[in-house]
Homo-oligomer: A and B are copies of this chain.
Amino acid sequence: MEDETFDDISESSSVGAAQRVFHALSSAPRRKILAYLSASGLTAGEIADRFSMSKPAVSQHLSILETAGLIRREKQGQFVHYSLIENNLVNTLNGFVQEVCPVGRPIKKESQARARRKELP
């Protein structure tokens, strides 16, 4: 397996996939980066420009997001282009919600949101 929402019942090192995702999401700057990337891919520099912290600090956040499988890194010449990987985020959060909640609640809200937009099959 490779799921890990329930994490190590067996009390181990806490470096599962879910752990990496949830840790990545626990930081406001990192969530902000994801939000920026949801609009469009950006270079490391463009992302850093949107923050008041130093470039290396932002680079570190990007690396954590990448390790969590939430964003992808593509080198283009001297630039590094980052973009969102939606699946891992959605699957991890969704899997967790499914496990913790007796199912049913989330659907209503999502159905509403869905109704307001175009349908993808």
Contact = CB atoms under 8 A, between A and B. Distances in A.
Contacts of A99: 35, 38
A97 B90 contact: yes
Nearest to A25: B22
A83 interface: no
A97 B58 CA distance: 22
A120 to B, nearest CB: 4
Contacts of A55: none
A14 interface: yes
Interface string A92-119: 0110111111111111011101100101
B110 A110 contact: yes
Given A89-B97, A107-B111, A102 B28 contact: no
Given A23-B26, A104-B117, 13 more contacts: A5-B35, A6-B31, A7-B32, A14-B28, A19-B28, A22-B31, A31-B100, A38-B100, A38-B101, A90-B97, A90-B106, A106-B106, A107-B111
Interface of A: 5-9, 11, 14, 16, 18-19, 22-23, 25-26, 28-29, 31-32, 34-35, 38, 52, 84, 86-87, 89-91, 93-94, 96-107, 109-111, 113-114, 117, 119-120
